[in-house]
A and B are shown apart, each in its own frame.
Chain A
Amino acid sequence: MFSNVKRRGAAAAIVASAALVMAGCSTTVEPGSSETPNGDNGTPDANLAITFLPKNLGNAYFDTSDAGGAEAIAEFGGTYAEVGPAEASPDAQVSYINTLTQQGVGGIAISANDPEAICGALNEARDNGVKVVTFDSDTNPECRDLFINQATAEGIAQVQVDMIAEQIGGEGQIAILSATANATNQNAWIEMMKEILAADHPNIELVDVVYGDDDDQTSFDRTAALLQTYPDLKGIVSPTTVGISAAARYLSTSESKGQVAITGLGTPNQMRSYVEDGTVAAFALWNPGDLGYLAAYAAKALIEGEITGAEGDTFSAGKLGDYTVGPNGTVLLGDPYVFDANNIGDFNF
């Protein structure tokens, strides 16, 4: 029996070694991120190896943003890589940040799972000369060089008012289908929308704000109730991705389809069929591809020493144009992106 244990140990060692050798081979196929890439238009000694570290892998939203990053990095001749945990747990990104520090990458573009848990690791990376850009979800400001903010509350409120006003012709009753009654983001947006409506659209009457609790069935039922309670309702705004798709699903099979406008914040994959069948004319969100693209250019500007992340620094971001760093090391992507029948086919997230 014991001679077999020896063989078993040997087998385990062989399996493990084989896995490593194969892994070792795969690194030579991908450009080794520890080496300085051959940047053709960057500063000669700048290390333009930029790695995207999303909240988790296999997430369509981050696939889109990281593809945007890859596009930008290809434009300026850097080395793109993407690593990340399988699950978005608070500490899972730490070992990846440590690994990137060891590999000596030039920059990390990360969407933080926890604002605090990855702080130590990020600061260690920065002490070793790695530039850190957060996008989509920020850490504490002292743990990164720049945060690429996808949208401001003002921008989100404004685009939603603009869309609904356009879709109902600037007058009539509207209602809001929100998430939970105490959702911080949604409540802030709704307050701003009320102000904008009062100031710019006196003929639009906001008759009710209902809460679908970010639950598909509840949102569906609230939509049905709204349409029954307010027979003259012209439009519904739902500033939550769960709400807008549930409301669109109800409308698409009801007789009010085409009579009542529905808009708000949604994702193209959820909303595609409702845009195609005419239930929904347009909805908004930011473009995650642009978000990743901008994050990559921001990392490049930091690596090349063009900017330090101080307020007022400006840098150029390829096709998106020039950007200026705002307070707290934040760069704003811009106005939310409006999706409609013309462009929804270009997106998959």
Chain B
Amino acid sequence: MSDAALTSAAPRGYRHHSKPLWRRALFTREIAVFAALVAVYVVAVFSVPNFAAPITITYLLLDVAAILFIALPMTMIIITGEIDLSVASVVGLSSVVFGTMYQAGLPIPLAIAVAIVVGAVAGFINGFLVTVMRLPSLAVTIGTLALFRGLAVGLLGTTAVTGFPATWSDLATSTIPGTPIPSVMILFGALTIVFVWLLHGSSFGRGVFAIGQSSEAARFSGVSVERTKLILFVLSGTVAALAGVYYTLRYGSARGDNATGLELGVIAAVLLGGVSIFGGRGALHGVIAAVLLIGTLASALRLANVTSDVINIITGTLLVASVVSPSFFAWVHEHWTRSRGRRARAAAAHTDATPATTQVDVPTSHNH
């Protein structure tokens, strides 16, 4: 939560400063998701048998690790108002490339490097089509979703590459000695620091938010819109490829259909974490909390013997509620302030003799 203060890098209007700093820092969407995560965790510890065991955290983090990785660049892409639907296919493609390179006799580090380069190239193709060809990212990445998956399945067919050396697969499944935290979280921590700095601490990140607010305005204020988006898509492909290597080593199986549908999990978490699908708004700590919230819910419900369909219904409802709730509460708030303003005006009309000070500040503080 150290980056909570950094969210002030997001553009804010006058009304954001009408409340004291502590309220602005605390009562945010991100903190709400974090509070929900803590609530779910605490309730599960007390009501779900076996949930309190430390191994739960190990399994949970191993399960969501790939989503956590990809959510970092995805957050930035969605903040610019674009989307990358091809990430899961890049995971599959890099998994297959990594597997075939290993099978061809390349040493593992080299095979990993090749897979990551392939991911970066895949991201570059997306970025090139979006920024140079000026095509909408939704259309482009639906196309490359099919294209990259087709390449992945075409390269390996229905076979799988298995038998990766234990030293490497252990890296993907082992825990940090003395803790239930998987070792792969060290890599994730490092990546998080880079992305938090990039989004919330650098001028590049301010450009990302500016593009999301208005790409025209961003362009006129000197942000290189195309270059920024291109970099983001390349980052997305690269990180997705890294997730693909992790995925392959964790399950010990390089297959073309690995991680099918993972993109929906990533995008769901990013939106639940408070990133606006229209761009311009969001923060990484909210997204990370949202990934963990979905993972914790699924893990607790599985331990409580709830079937996968019900788990999907609950996560789906949570997502819809989280997307709908800002508009709903805004509507309630507006309704409430309007009726309160009306009442205040009515009261003022009835009691002319009352000093004006109390009536004046009620409408002005809420009407914007």
A residues sitting closer than 8 Å to B (CB atoms) are 1-13, 15-17, 19-21, 23-24, 26-27, 30, 32-34, 57-58, 81, 83-87, 89-91, 94-96, 98-99, 102-104, 114-120
Contacts and interface: CB of A to CB of B under 8 A. Distances in A.
A20 B47 contact: yes
A66 to B, nearest CB: 13
B253 A34 contact: no
Contacts of B301: 19-20, 23
B48 A12 contact: no
Given A20-B44, A120-B251, A34 B31 contact: no
Given A8-B29, A16-B43, A117-B252, 17 more contacts: A3-B27, A4-B329, A5-B31, A11-B325, A12-B36, A17-B39, A20-B47, A26-B304, A27-B304, A30-B305, A32-B49, A89-B261, A90-B255, A91-B251, A96-B302, A98-B59, A116-B252
Q: Kindly list the 10 A-B residue pairs having the minimum CB-CB distance in the complex, ordered from nearest.
A: A9-B32, A24-B47, A23-B304, A13-B39, A117-B251, A2-B27, A116-B253, A4-B329, A116-B162, A117-B253
B244 to A, nearest CB: 12
Contacts of B253: 90, 114, 116-117
B312 to A, nearest CB: 6
B258 interface: yes
Contact of A83 (B31, B300, B307): B307
Given A1-B333, A2-B27, A120-B169, A13 B308 contact: no
A89 B305 contact: no
Interface in B315-361: 317-318, 321-322, 325-326, 329-330, 332-333
B307 A16 contact: no
B49 A2 contact: no
A90 B252 CA distance: 11
A102 B309 contact: no
Contacts of B40: 13, 16-17, 20
Interface stretch (B50-58, B79-87, B147-155, B232-240): B50-58
B28 interface: yes
Interface in B80-138: none
A104 B298 CA distance: 19
Contact of B59 (A26, A30, A87, A95): A95
Interface residue tally on B, bucketed by range: 35 or more
Nearest to A96: B302
A60 to B, nearest CB: 16
A99 B303 contact: yes
A103 B303 contact: yes
Nearest to B29: A5
Contacts of A118: 251
B258 A21 contact: no
A104 to B, nearest CB: 7
B48 A57 contact: no
Contacts of A99: 59, 299, 302-303
28 contacts: A2-B28, A5-B27, A5-B28, A9-B29, A9-B33, A13-B36, A16-B297, A20-B40, A20-B48, A23-B301, A23-B305, A24-B47, A24-B48, A26-B304, A27-B304, A30-B305, A57-B308, A84-B308, A86-B308, A91-B251, A102-B50, A103-B303, A104-B50, A114-B253, A116-B160, A116-B162, A118-B251, A119-B252
A169 to B, nearest CB: 41
A141 B312 CA distance: 33
Contact of B300 (A20, A26, A32, A87): A20
Contacts of B307: 57, 83
Given A5-B29, A103-B303, A20 B43 contact: yes
A102 B32 contact: no
A96 B298 CA distance: 11
Nearest to B32: A9
B255 A114 contact: yes
